[in-house]
Amino acid sequence: MIEKFGSLLSADAANYEKAVRDLENKNFNGLHFDVMDGHFVRNFAFNATIIASLRKLTNMVFNTHLEIENPEQYLDMFIDAGSNMITIHPQACGNLERALRYLKAKGILSSIALDPDINIKQIIKYLPLADNIIVMSVYPGFGEQKFIESSFEKIKEIKKIIKTGNFNISISVDGSINNETEKKVINCGADILIYGSSIFRK
């Protein structure tokens, strides 16, 4: 079954509660939080305090996407805030294997984000420790970007590797998911679609 997550990066910050209620009413499965530090990406967004506040409003799955440097130093902060899944960019993490093992030990779903310039072959050795892979179909940091067409083949490649290796890993796609791209990424093998500006900025 395909799951839908709403990325609050594009929502009205003054009305997060309304955004959460609207997504619940539309049967979304989870919320996606883009945590940005102004270093790994040139933008700032969200923190553990905001996530903890929204955790009180809903039982939806929270995926906290750490678009920050040295994410392994902040895992406990976002676990305590109520994250169910935490996503890490391998190039930002000093020891990805240790971070993934730590999330497993804490009972948190572990997710690896693949930027458009990162090849799946660079993280194959970590797949036994991953529950999810996010294919970034735009560059991280900002919403309302154009979908990168090469992402379709990337999703297919990852799906093939997962099936061949018999890994229990879901594939998420983050970036410019809308009426035009959603069916295409599903056909390529995506399991989770992350919607942002297409649902919040109509």
Q: What is the pLDDT of residue 87?
A: 98
- Give pTM, 2 decimals: 0.95
Q: What is the pLDDT of residue 202?
A: 57
Q: Long-range contacts: 36-44, Cβ < 8 Å, 24+?
A: 36/67, 36/68, 36/141, 37/67, 37/68, 37/69, 39/68, 39/69, 40/67, 40/68, 40/69, 40/89, 40/92, 40/140, 41/67, 41/140, 41/141, 41/142, 42/141, 43/141, 43/142
For the chain, residues with pLDDT lower than 50 are: none
Q: What is the pLDDT of residue 5?
A: 98
Q: Annotated active-site positions, please?
A: 34, 174
Q: What is the pLDDT of residue 175?
A: 84
Q: What is the pLDDT of residue 143?
A: 61
Q: What is the pLDDT of residue 42?
A: 87
Q: What is the pLDDT of residue 197?
A: 86
